[in-house]
Amino acid sequence: MLRATASIATAVFVALIVAAPSSLSQTTHKKSGPKRPTAVGAASESSPTKAELIQAARDAAADDMKTITKYRNVQTARVCSARDVATDMYMPHNPEFARCPKEGHRYNVMVRESYQEKIACPPVPTAESAWSVVRLSEDRWRVSSGGRSWEVEEVSSHQLPENKLVRLSNVTLSVTTRGGC
């Protein structure tokens, strides 16, 4: 009985192995869902070329600035109050060491102050091989290089985007910087 069950299991296993490759070759792989972005290759006549898209990103990046926060020490004059005189640890025994020996006395203090500074972003690469252009939709592309990316969209004359506009010979492109410098 045990031998018969083992031989049946072996036969079923061999049949599955032999049948599996033939059934896989007959299946068709059909993808469904949204289209994935594709790299720009040969473009149609109406859409901008890869070089034009890269130039639009370069033009938009030419005047990109980023804001950074910096800190500096500033000397500030303070005036002693009655409370400062009362709480000074050297008063009244050692007034020569006291910061506030009497009310109305002035003393200087270093205070850390923050300020904003705008700096230009580093220049983008000039070699076209350093750039990647991916088509997102019929009239939108993602152009990226060196960790920075831009979304470039073809716009018509009646659209008014709030992004940077780059006018090329035959097309107007709206460029949005993604991710900063």
Residues 161, 166, 172, 173: is their CA dihedral positive or negative? Answer: negative
168 inside domain? yes
Residue 116 and residue 147 share a domain? no
Q: How far is CA 52 from CA 65, 131, 175, in A?
A: 23, 12, 12
Comparing CA positions, the residue from 123, 149, 146 lying closest to residue 134 is: 149
Residue 181 and residue 141 share a domain? yes
Q: Is 27:19 a contact under the CB 8 Å cutoff? A: no
- For 177, the domain range is 38-64+121-181
Residue 111 and residue 73 share a domain? yes
Torsion, Cα 10 14 15 21, to 10 degrees, reads 160
33 inside domain? no
pLDDT score for 121: 84
- Ramachandran region of residue 102, left (φ > 0), alpha (ψ -120 to 50) or beta? beta
Residue 112 and residue 86 share a domain? yes
Residue 133 and residue 78 share a domain? no
Total number of domains constituting the chain: 2
Residue 177 and residue 91 share a domain? no
Q: Is 135:37 a contact under the CB 8 Å cutoff? A: yes
pLDDT score for 85: 92
Report how far residue 144's alpha carbon sits from residue 177's, in angstroms, rounded to the nearest whole number: 10
Residue 168: both structure tokens together: 């090329």
pLDDT score for 139: 87
Residue 175 and residue 130 share a domain? yes
- How are the residues of the chain apportioned to helix, strand and coil, as percentages rounded to the nearest 5? 25, 35, 40
Full pLDDT tens readout for the chain, 181 residues: 445 555 555 554 444 454 444 444 333 333 344 444 444 544 445 678 888 889 888 888 887 888 999 999 999 999 999 999 999 999 888 989 999 999 999 999 999 999 999 998 888 888 888 999 999 988 899 999 888 888 988 877 655 555 566 666 667 788 888 877 7
